[in-house]
Amino acid sequence: MDIQIGQQAPEIELESTNGHIQKLSEFKGQKHVLVNFYPLDFTPVCTSQNCGFSIDLGLFDQFDTVILPISVDSKYCHHAFQEKYSIRQELLSDIHRKATHDYGVYFEPMNCSKRAYFLVDKSGIVRWKKIMDELKDSLSVQELLSVVKTIADG
C-alpha cells in the first residue's frame, strides 16, 4: 500500500516493550504521532536513532508529539535493546509485519522494514512522510523536530 499525504493513517495495533498493546488510535484527538519504522535492533543506525529519540523525548513532548518506533524484532529483542541502551521510549514489535505491509515499507531482501517516517496529526491524518532510499540512511532528530514543529504550528 502506498500511503498518501492527507489520508487517514492505517491503524497500528502492536505489542510494546512494556507488554501493552499500543494502538495508533489511542492518540487521536490528543497527540501528533511520529511513526518511525526502523529495520532492526542493535544495528548502528537504528541504535543511534533510538538513543537520539530517547535523549530528546522532551523536545517532541513540547509539540504534543509521541514517537512510535516500530521494527520487526520480537518484544524480547526490543526489551534487551531498550535495556542495553537505556532507551526510554516504548518500542513496538511488528513481528508479523502487518504494519510494515500496511504502510508500504516492507523490504523483502532482509524481511524487515525500510527506514521510514510518517507524521500523523491529532485527527489521525498523515501530514508528512519520508521513506529512506537506503537502510543506512536516516533523518536526524533535529530534522524530524523541524517537521514536527511545522505540523504542530500549522
Q: Where are the domains of the chain?
A: 13-153
**Residue 29: what pLDDT?**
96
**Residue 73: what pLDDT?**
97
d(CA 130, CA 58): 23
Close Cβ partners of 61 (under 8 Å, ≥ 6 residues apart): none
22 phi/psi in degrees, rounded to 5? -90, 125
Residue 38 pLDDT > 80 = yes
For the record, the C-alpha cell of 113 comes out as 522494514
Label residue 3 by pLDDT band (50, 70, 90).
very high
d(CA 146, CA 20): 30
d(CA 144, CA 128): 10
Residue 152 pLDDT > 90 = no
Whether the CB-CB separation of 46 and 78 falls below 8 Å is answered with no
Pick the CATH number of 13-153 from 3.40.30.10, 3.90.1640.30, 3.30.70.140, 3.40.630.10: 3.40.30.10
**Residue 2: what pLDDT?**
85
Neighbour tally for 1: CB within 10 Å:
10
First to last CA, the chain: 27
Q: How many CA atoms lie within 13 A of 91 on its CB side?
A: 33
Establish whether 46 is a catalytic residue: yes
d(CA 128, CA 135): 19
Residue 95 pLDDT > 80 = yes
**Residue 56: what pLDDT?**
92
